[in-house]
Structure 1
Amino acid sequence: MEVDDHELVRLFVSSEPYAESGQLDAFREVWSRKMLRYELEPIDGHPLHFDAVIRSLPDLTMASGSRSPMRTRRANEHIDHDDFFLVVFTEGAGELNERGRVANIGAGEAVLSSNGSPASFVIPTSSRTISYRFSRALLRPHVRNLDDLVARPFAQDDQMLRLLVGYSKVLNDQDALATAGLRRAVSVHMHDLAALLLGGKAEPPLNQGLQAARLKAVKDEILLRLTDSDLSVDAIAGSQQVSERYMRKLFAAEGTTFTDFVREARLAHAHRRLTDPGQSHRPVQAIAYESGFGDLSYFNRTFRQRYGMTPSEARERARQDG
C-alpha cells in the first residue's frame, strides 16, 4: 500500500484583508519577511496589492498571482535555502538585479534567480507572475554551472519555456495529482523541463518530462479546437511543430490513439450539454455538430456505446434526476 506522505499543499496569500483593516505593515512582516522571505515595498505611491495561489509538491512550489508596482529585496538575513526560482511574467514587466547582473523581463518572458544570493526585483507596473521553485540538488546533475545562468532572461518564444508553463497547469488538475506517486511524477517532470530550459540535453532521463509536457500541450490544443469538424492529426502536429509519427507515439505510450482521445473528448463535450438544463431546448443534432461530429448516425452510435443510452435518453435521465 502506498503511503501518501507528499500531499499537495495549497495556500492563498492576499494583502486585501490587511489593507481593509489598515494592517499592511502586519502583512509585510508576517507574509513578506517571515513566509516569503524578502522585503516588499510599494513604489511610486501605488497602494500595495499582492495576491498569490501557492501550490507545493515534493521539491517543487508554484506561486501565481498579481501584484502592484513594487520592489522586493532579498538580503542575507532572508536566505534559508539555495534553490532556484524561475519567474515568468505573464503580464507586466520587471528588472532583476542579482550577482552584479541586471535582467529586464517583459510580458511572456522569464528569468532565473538563486535564493542563495541577495537580490532585488523592481516591478514598475501592475503585473501577473508565475514563480517556480526548483531544487538545486535535482537540477545539478543535468546542468553545469547553474549559478552562471542567474539573471539570464528567457524569451517569450522559447519553446521549452512554453512547454514548462503549459505543463505546470497540471497542478490545477485533481485527477492528475490523485496519488503520492502521481504528485512525485509531476515534480520530476517539472524538474526535467527546467533542466532542459537551462541547457540540459534532451535525452534520457530528461525525455520523460519532455514527452509528458508535449502530450499535455497536444491535448490542450485538441480541447481548444474540439468543435472543429476538420480537426486532424496533421493539423495538430503542424501547430505543435512535431511530426505526426511522434505525436502518435505520444498517445500510444499512454495506451490510446489520437482518434480515440478526440472521440472521447467530443462525446464528453456533447454529454455535458445534453445534460445541462439550460440547453434542454436545443436539438440533439445541433449539439452533436457543435461538438465536432459531422455524422449524426455515427454520433448516436458512439454515444450509446460510451454511455449505454441514446443522447435523448441521457437528456431525459438528467431531467428526471434534476
Structure 2
Amino acid sequence: MWREVYGHTVARFEIEPLNDAPFHAEVTLRGLPGLGVACGSRSDASYRMTRKIAAGAPDNFLFSIVTGGVGTVSQFGREVTIGAGSTVLVSGTDPSVCTIRNGGRFLTLAMSRERIRPHLADLDAALARPLMEPTDALQLLSGYLAVLQDASTLSTEQLAQSVATHLTDLVIVAAGGTPDAVARARERGVRAARLHAIKADIARNLAQRDLSAELVAARQGISPRYVRSLLEADGSSFSEFVLAQRLALAHQLLRDRRHFDRAVGEIAFEAGFGDLSYFNRCFRRRYAATPSDVREDAKRRRGE
C-alpha cells in the first residue's frame, strides 16, 4: 500500500526497502496555495523518480530539510550526502534517486516551479547541491514549519496564502535568490518567521519570571530592539504580549480538570507571576471574573 498509494499517487516515487528491517512510515501532509508541506519519518528505503513518473509529475521543485538519519540524493549526474541539518533542492520533473537510512526524518516543501525559478540567482548551482552550512533563513524556515505542523487548519484563504508566501520567501533566501528577491523576502517572509520564532520562544519560557526582550533576543541571535519592533508592528509591546500569554496559560490551567485541586497561587506561579495580588488584578481585568470564579464555572459545566 505504501508503494502503490503513497509512492505512485502522492509522492510520485518507486519505493524499495534497503534491508529486511521492519517497515515504518509516518508522514503528515498539508496543502497551501501553490505549495505542499510534508514532514515525518520513514524506514530505510530508496525513493526513485523514473523518467516515466517524472513525465507525469507536477512541475515542482522539492526543497527538503533532513532532521534525522543519513542518505544520498542523486540527480543530473550529481550525488550528494544528506544528514541531519542538510538541505537539498531537486527538480520534481527530472529523474532522481533518494536513499534514506537510520530512520530518516524530514521536512519537505513541494513548490511550483513558476513560484521560485524567476527569483533564484543560479538555478543550476542550486539543484542537487545541499546547503552545507546552516543559514539564518534555514533555521527560521525549520522553526516556521514546526509551528505549522503543530497548528490547527489555517482558518482563512488569506492566511493560507500569506503563510505560503512567507515559506517561499525563506526558501528563496536559503537557496540563493537574486539580490532583489532576497531583499523582498527578508522584508516579508523572514520578518514573519522571526515573529513566529519570538512568540514561540516566549510561550516556552513563560514560567521564567525575569523573561525579557534581552533574554529572548540573546536566544534568537538578534537585538532586543528588533524583538520589540516586531511585536509592536504586530500590535502589542513586549510586556503586553508576555502578560497576555501568561494570563491565557493561567486561564487554561484553571479550566483544566486535571488542575482543579491545585491552589490558584500555584497556577499563577507556573504561569510566570511572582505577585498573587497583581495576578488577580490583571486576571479580573482581562476576563471580568476572578480566577476562582473561572474554576468554579469550569467545574459546573463538567458537573463536578
Instruction: Render the CA deviation track for 1:181-239: whole Å, top value 9, x for unaligned.
Output: 11111111110111011122442254211110000001111111111011001000111
After the TM superposition, which residues 17-166 of structure 1 pair with which residues of structure 2 at under 5 Å, given as runs? 26-79=1-54, 80-155=57-132, 157-166=134-143
Does the CA-based 8 Å contact 1:110-1:156 persist in structure 2? no
The DSSP-based 3-state class of the residue aligned with 1:182 is helix
Does the CA-based 8 Å contact 1:110-1:153 persist in structure 2? yes
Matches of 2:79 and 2:185, distance apart in 1: 33
Structure 2 unmatched ranges of 5 or more: none
Match of 1:306 among 269, 286, 294: 286
The DSSP-based 3-state class of the residue aligned with 2:121 is coil
Paired residue type of 2:233: A
Question: C-alpha root-mean-square deviation of aligned residues, in Å?
Answer: 1.6
Moved over 3 A (4+): none
Instruction: Render the CA deviation track for 1:16-73: whole Å, top value 9, x for unaligned.
Output: xxxxxxxxxx441333123321110001223433231111111110111221100111
Match of 1:237 among 188, 194, 217: 217
Matches of 2:131 and 2:70, distance apart in 1: 13
Residue matched to 1:19:
none
Paired residue type of 1:209: G
Paired residue type of 1:132: L
Residue matched to 1:283:
263
Does the CA-based 8 Å contact 2:172-2:185 persist in structure 1? no
Does the CA-based 8 Å contact 1:60-1:135 persist in structure 2? yes
Matches of 2:267 and 2:50, distance apart in 1: 58
Is 2:151 the counterpart of 1:173?
yes
The DSSP-based 3-state class of the residue aligned with 1:301 is helix
Stretch of structure 1 that moved more, 113-122 or 298-307: 113-122
The DSSP-based 3-state class of the residue aligned with 2:94 is coil
Paired residue type of 1:170: L
Instruction: Using the TM superposition, give the Cα deviation of residue 272 of structure 1 relative to its aligned residue in structure 2, in angstroms.
Output: 1.3
Name the structure where helix makes up a greater proportion of residues. 2
Instruction: Using the TM superposition, give the Cα deviation of residue 318 of structure 1 relative to its aligned residue in structure 2, in angstroms.
Output: 1.1
Instruction: Using the TM superposition, give the Cα deviation of residue 265 of structure 1 relative to its aligned residue in structure 2, in angstroms.
Output: 0.6
Matches of 1:145 and 1:137, distance apart in 2: 15
Matches of 2:255 and 2:9, distance apart in 1: 49
Stretch of structure 1 that moved more, 154-163 or 132-141: 154-163
Matches of 1:170 and 1:198, distance apart in 2: 21
Match of 1:267 among 243, 247, 270: 247
Residue matched to 1:226:
206
The DSSP-based 3-state class of the residue aligned with 2:128 is coil
Instruction: Render the CA deviation track for 1:77-112: whole Å, top value 9, x for unaligned.
Output: 111233211112211111101111111111132211
Instruction: Using the TM superposition, give the Cα deviation of residue 171 of structure 1 relative to its aligned residue in structure 2, in angstroms.
Output: 5.0
Paired residue type of 2:253: R
Identity, % of aligned pairs? 39
Stretch of structure 1 that moved more, 128-137 or 64-73: 128-137
Residue matched to 1:216:
196
The DSSP-based 3-state class of the residue aligned with 1:97 is strand
In the superposition, the TM-score normalised over structure 1's length comes to 0.87
Matches of 2:184 and 2:41, distance apart in 1: 37
